[in-house]
């Protein structure tokens, strides 16, 4: 989306105070997330070898930043987009029992991002993954997990209010679950983002289910790779998909803000189906996919939660560059400066 400059933007905190509070938010959130979901921290890679199938393909068109490794015969490595598949492999390697999982601080570079208030080429998020039983692969389990994560986000919003009473809470007490097909049926003449906008204005916070799967009009709400989230399995609500996005209403920018993408992961059956739907059956020969198709990886649920986006939302900032250090087009920096939006 284009850069948004809010009218009469009121910066809630000075940059020095912001820097200190960012640490408090990150320390507190990851501790509470780990407690609620029974996760333990692990160390994450910044890059993986090309050709393993481990990197996140996002929408399938984004180019990873890559480089040759001299001491490995110039074998190619690539900066991660996210750790969606790497985490599941780690669950199996560590033999983590159902009901328990792991999380990590994930840092990535997405050079093809269109830079604006919400998007940066530098991505920082909590990537998490949890082992489940095959019987847990259902919508009720997904919704229960989403509610726990949303509860932690609400806790953090209240914590910020206690620290800075002029930053008043905006989130509703409960998150609304809704399928992307329901949004299409309600607002068939709107674009997917416009539908999200209508939904978050009405409910304040939604978990939008079925991201990546085909809708009744033949379109998809948004892109999702075929080899981590399960967006094609029929669910208990009569639609398709066991994944979704946590989206909240951002009052500063007057629009939707996605805080998390997550879901129950593909089974061998849904992986085969989704690879065929996307026309990339050749991935089945990659090491990660071979292992999954052979039943060597545990059933799991997982996702990513944007660290900078969460800080931006909780501190009511207008630009993600107010809570992370990155690079931006000069005209964007100047437009923000004139509006009192100080980028780090």
Query: Is residue 258 within 8 Å of residue 221, measured between CB atoms?
Result: no
What is the pLDDT of the chain when averaged over all its residues? 91
Q: Cα–Cα distances in Å, from 113 out to 8, 32, 178, 180?
A: 28, 30, 27, 24
Give the model confidence (pLDDT) of 129-163 as tens digits.
999 999 999 999 999 999 999 999 999 999 999 99
Give how far Cα 13 sits from Cα of 31, 97, 304, Å.
24, 43, 27
The tokens for 305 are 């939660």
For residues 121 and 265, give the distance between their C-alpha atoms in angstroms, rounded to a whole number: 26
pLDDT tens-digit series, residues 154-178: 999 999 999 999 999 999 999 999 9
CA distance linking residue 86 with residue 302, whole number of Å: 11
- Decide if pLDDT at 60 tops 60: no
DSSP 87-101: HHHHHHHTTPPTT-E
Percent of the chain with pLDDT over 90: 67
pLDDT class of 57 with cuts at 50, 70, 90 = low
58-62, 97-101, 206-210, 303-307: segment of lowest average pLDDT:
58-62
Mean pLDDT calculated for residue range 267-285: 93
Please report the DSSP string for 168-211 in residue order.
Answer: -----SSPEEEEHHHHHHH-TTS-HHHHHHHHHHHHSEEEEE-T
pLDDT value of position 153: 98
9 burial (CB, 10 Å; 0-12 / 13-18 / 19+) is middle
Which DSSP letter does residue 281 get? G
Which structural domains are found in the chain, ordered by start? Answer: 15-338 (3.30.930.10)
d(CA 221, CA 258): 14
Sequence-separated (6 or more) residues with CB below 8 Å from residue 44: 83, 86, 104, 105, 106, 107, 127
| Closest listed residue to residue 109, CA positions, set 67, 167, 47 | 47
Is pTM beyond 0.75? Reply is: yes
**Per-residue confidence at 61, pLDDT binned at 50, 70, 90?**
low
Active-site positions read 56, 110, 125, 245, 258, 261
Q: Quick one: average pLDDT of 67-84?
A: 84
**Tokens encoding 51:** 């050709």
Measure Cα distances from 40 to 30, 31, 99 in Å: 10, 9, 12
| Phi, psi at 52, each rounded to 5° | -95, -20
């Amino acid at each position: 989306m284009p850069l948004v400059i809010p009218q009469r933007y009121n910066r809630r905190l000075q940059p020095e105070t912001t820097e200190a509070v960012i640490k408090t938010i990150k320390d507190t959130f990851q501790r509470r997330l780990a407690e609620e979901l029974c996760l333990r921290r692990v160390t994450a890679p910044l890059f993986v070898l090309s050709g393993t199938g481990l990197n996140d393909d996002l929408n399938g068109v984004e180019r990873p930043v890559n480089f040759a490794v001299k001491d490995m015969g110039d074998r190619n490595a690539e900066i991660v987009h996210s750790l969606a598949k790497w985490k599941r492999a780690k669950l199996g390697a560590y033999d983590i029992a159902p009901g328990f999982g792991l999380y990590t601080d994930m840092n990535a570079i997405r050079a093809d991002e269109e830079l604006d208030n919400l998007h940066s080429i530098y991505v920082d998020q909590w990537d998490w993954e949890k082992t489940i039983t095959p019987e847990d692969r259902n919508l009720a389990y997904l919704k229960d997990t989403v509610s726990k994560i949303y509860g932690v986000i609400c806790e953090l919003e209240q914590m910020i209010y206690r620290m800075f009473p002029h930053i008043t809470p905006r989130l509703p007490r409960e998150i609304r679950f809704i399928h992307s097909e329901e949004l299409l049926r309600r607002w068939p003449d709107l674009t997917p983002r416009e539908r999200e906008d209508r939904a978050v204005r009405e409910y304040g916070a939604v978990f939008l289910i079925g991201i990546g799967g085909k809708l009744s009009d033949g379109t998809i709400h948004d892109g999702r790779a075929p080899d981590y989230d399960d967006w094609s399995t029929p669910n208990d609500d009569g639609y398709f998909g066991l994944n979704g996005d946590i989206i909240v209403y951002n009052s500063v920018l007057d629009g939707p803000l996605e805080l998390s993408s997550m879901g129950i992961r593909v089974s061998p059956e849904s992986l085969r189906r989704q690879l065929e739907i996307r026309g990339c059956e050749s991935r089945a020969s990659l090491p990660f996919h071979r292992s999954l198709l052979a039943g060597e990886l545990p059933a799991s649920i997982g996702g990513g939660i944007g660290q900078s986006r969460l800080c931006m939302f909780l501190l009511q900032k207008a630009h993600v560059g107010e809570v992370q250090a990155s690079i931006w087009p000069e005209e964007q920096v100047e437009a923000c400066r004139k509006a009192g939006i100080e980028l780090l």
